[in-house]
Each structure stands twice: as structure tokens, then as C-alpha cells.
Structure 1
Amino acid sequence: MSDAVFPYRSVVVSCQAGPDNPLHGPGPMALMARAAVAGGAAGIRANGPADVAAISAVVDLPILGINKTGDRGGVYITPTFGSAAAVVRAGASAVALDGTARPRPDGGSLTDLVARIHDELGVPVMADVDSLESGRFARAAGADLVGTTLSGYTGGPGSAAGDGPDLDLVKALAAELDCPIVAEGRFWTREEVLAGFEAGAHTVVVGTAVTNPMAITRRLVEALR
């Protein structure tokens, strides 16, 4: 598989549901992934070895695996080699991880983690970042793809999450980095997906707007207030 992981101008669906969601668990996420693929998704992003294994058993497309095992207030997405290895063993085609310069829980460096994933697991690495500076850092550390997943969520300058995607960050990353840029975070509409590609994204990842009926319903109800 190429470092790009997904075809150019493709849509990937993030199938995740937290413990507070009635759809939480491998079974519902596998069904959600099948529905997304039937609708034309080019791949799936999934959290944890159980969900990845269930999805890989029914979906014959690339799976971008993550493993949320770290500190919610810090590096939370696939923070260690062990967390990455678990989702690859479960069937992930690539690994996404926190690509910021924040301290990692094991004290290691992002460069060493990316190199070890490449050498021992043999899969591409996507860095979830929150800023252009983080994107530069992650690419220098060896990340194969850089995504805007963490924009608005890390508490850094300009970190307040808006209602829509951070297209300015997509554009800045695409203009400077020599790797595929993945636009992810707060994509709700077809127009926003198209805007992501126009800003320079290689791939757009859509999650909540497709796979979280609870959040979609809440968004519609709150519009009435």
C-alpha cells in the first residue's frame, strides 16, 4: 500500500462511538462501516482493536486504526508503540496517532515511535495535528500523512473548535508539506467536503455527521432553540 493509504479525493468515514452512545461496541461499528462502504466510502477510521477487528472482518477496504488509551488532557490518540501494534494486529492498514509535540506518556519521541511503527509493523503513519507548527513537527518526525483532526481540541492558541472544519489549516498544510493532507474534524455538509478538497486535501474524513445519530439529533434539536 502506498503512503497515501487512500485514493486521491476520497471520503473516509470515521466509525467511532463512545461508552455513552447506544451504538458503542464492535458489532454496531461493523454494521456502520458496512453501511459507509456501501455508500461509497474509500476506507474507515476506527478506534481500538476490538472495533478494528470486527470491521476488518466485514470490510475489504483500508482501515485507519487508532487506539485511544492515553490521557484525555494530553496525548490520547495511539500514544505508544503497544497501542499502535494492537490495532495493526487487529487488521488496521495504517495507524493514526497524536502528532503534536506534547510530551508522550512513555517519555519517548514521536520520531522514534513513527520509525518503530514503520520498521516493526510495516504500515504508514498518519499524524493528527492541531496547527501548522505541529504539522511541520510531525512530517519532520517521519509521518506519511498529516491530518487536521486535533484542530480546536488541544488547548493551544486558537484552539477553540468552531462549528465547521478548519479549512485554513488544511490550506496551510497543503501549501507547505510534501505529503498527503487529510482534512478531518467538523465536516457536516457536501459543500464543506468539497471545500476541503479545494483547500488541498488528499482525503476528507467524516465522522459524526455520518455515524453518530445521537449527535446529529442533538444538533437539529438545538437549532430550534
Structure 2
Amino acid sequence: MDIRLKALRGGLVVSCQAPATSPLHHPQVIAAMAAAAVQQGAVGVRIDSPSHIEAVRQRVNQPIIGLWKQVLPPSSVYITPQRHHAEAVAEAGSDIIAVDATQRPRPGQETLAELIDYIHTHLNKPVMADVDNLNNALWAIEAGADCVGTTLFGYTEATQGETPPSLDLLRAMVEHCAVPVICEGGIASPEMARAALEAGAFTVVVGTALTGIDSLVNQYVAALQP
């Protein structure tokens, strides 16, 4: 197993992101979030976009799972969809590169296997495959993914209406996948994070519950309305 991936085993990875319209969507703010997470024991962070990754790299030595969200219609694949996005993420300082590994139509002519091979051979980075179901996890592993995450469960056309996390999906992936399985999406409490580890997750990624100030404040404000 790649040493950069091995460092995440059994720990907490904090996803430090913010909506593009938020005052928090600034490289130095994201870097401060990441540094605070690591200071308190996080084994790694998950960061979106080259500028944010570069700022975090200057403050954090722990592994960075990097990605770049790019919407390229008509494709609905948006997590590091093409090789030049992966290249920018790698150059910014990521240790592991996350990609959308669902079987939805991809932008351009490049296949998932070709993208993963490029990341391995040209960028020398392990790949985290973000998936929404077991079939796509197995497909991603066949394409060369080094680990698979439940990241997209509830966020694709096939799983629309489902509420993450799905411990059933996690257990199925742990049983059938020959690579580390990362639980990401919907983890809203320490107890849920512990349950995911006990279900076999290699590591647990938590985002909104820790760093989603915009979403959390909105929920509280809505709850206090007459």
C-alpha cells in the first residue's frame, strides 16, 4: 500500500471546503481550517481546487486528498474529471487525487482507466475513486483505483433521494473490494464516525459537520423562524 494512503488508516480526514459564494471560500481561510483540523488530530484533509490545495500545503504536512470540482456540461461528472485537472491538483501539492469513478458519461474522450493510468504514471499519485454504489466501486478498482470512497452515494442520478451515509453500502464495499474503503458523506457525529470504522472503513472523511459553517448556520436560522 502507498505510504501516503497508509497514513490515513483508522483516523479522521477533514474535508475543508466552502461554497464559492461564501466568505470562507478563500485559500488562507481554508488553510487555517485545515491547520486547525490537523492540530486537533486529523490524519489528513480533503481539499478542492489548486489554489486552496497550495495554501493548505504550506501549513499542513499530513496527507492531502486533492480534487478539483469542474462542471462540464452535458456531463454530470465533476470531481477532477480530466487529466489536466488532475495535473493541476498534483502540482499544487496533493498526495492523493480524488476522481469521480461512476459510470456516467465523462467529458471528452478519456476513459476512467486512462485517467487513473495517467495519474499513476505521469503524476506518481495514488487515486481515490469517489463512487455511489458497489458496482461502480468494483469497476473503479478494475480501472486501477487505489482506494474507493462512498462520497457520491446520494449525489448521483442513480442514488438521488438516498440519505448518506449508507453503512449497508460501506459493509458491502468492505466485503467485496480488494482495496481500502473510505467512508465519506453524511457523517454528522463522532458516534457515526465510530460506527463507520467498526463497519470496516479504512478511514472516515467528515466535512459539513465540522467545517460547513454556511450550511450549519442556515439550519439553525431556519429552525428559529416562527
Question: Would the TM-score normalized by the shorter structure come out above 0.5?
Answer: yes
- Could you say which residue in structure 1 is the equivalent of 2:157? 155
For the 8 Å contact 1:152–1:159, the answer to whether it is kept is yes
Distance 2:173 2:72 in 1: 26
Report the secondary structure of 1:31's partner residue: helix
Q: 2:138 is matched by which residue type in structure 1?
A: R
Q: 1:111 aligns with which of 110, 113, 119?
A: 113
Report the secondary structure of 1:178's partner residue: coil
Where in structure 2 are the equivalents of 1:181-192 lying within 5 Å?
181-192=181-192
- Could you say which residue in structure 2 is the equivalent of 1:206? 206
Distance 2:222 2:196 in 1: 26
Where in structure 2 are the equivalents of 1:50-199 lying within 5 Å?
50-71=51-72, 74-156=76-158, 158-162=159-163, 164-199=164-199
Residue 5 of structure 1: how far off its partner (Å) = 4.5
Distance 1:198 1:14 in 2: 21
| Alignment deviations for residues 2-24 of structure 1 (CA, whole Å, 9 cap, x no partner) | 36343321100001112122201
Runs of 5+ consecutive residues of structure 2 not aligned to the other structure: none
Residue 190 of structure 1: how far off its partner (Å) = 0.7
Identical residues among aligned pairs (%): 43
Q: Any runs of at least 4 consecutive aligned residues in structure 1 with deviations exceeding 6 A, and if so which?
A: none
Distance 2:4 2:35 in 1: 24
Runs of 5+ consecutive residues of structure 1 not aligned to the other structure: none
Residue 199 of structure 1: how far off its partner (Å) = 1.4
For the 8 Å contact 1:5–1:94, the answer to whether it is kept is no
Report the secondary structure of 2:204's partner residue: strand
Q: Which moved more, 1:106-115 or 1:54-63?
A: 106-115
Residue 70 of structure 1: how far off its partner (Å) = 3.1
Aligned length in residues: 223
What TM-score does the superposition give when structure 1 sets the normalisation length? 0.94
Assess, with a 3 A threshold, how the Cα gap between structure 1 residues 154 and 16 changes in structure 2: closer, same or farther: same
- Could you say which residue in structure 2 is the equivalent of 1:42? 43
Q: 2:199 is matched by which residue type in structure 1?
A: A
Residue 222 of structure 1: how far off its partner (Å) = 4.1
Q: Which moved more, 1:164-173 or 1:186-195?
A: 164-173
Assess, with a 3 A threshold, how the Cα gap between structure 1 residues 192 and 224 changes in structure 2: closer, same or farther: farther
What TM-score does the superposition give when structure 2 sets the normalisation length? 0.94
| Alignment deviations for residues 162-189 of structure 1 (CA, whole Å, 9 cap, x no partner) | 2x51211111100100100000001110
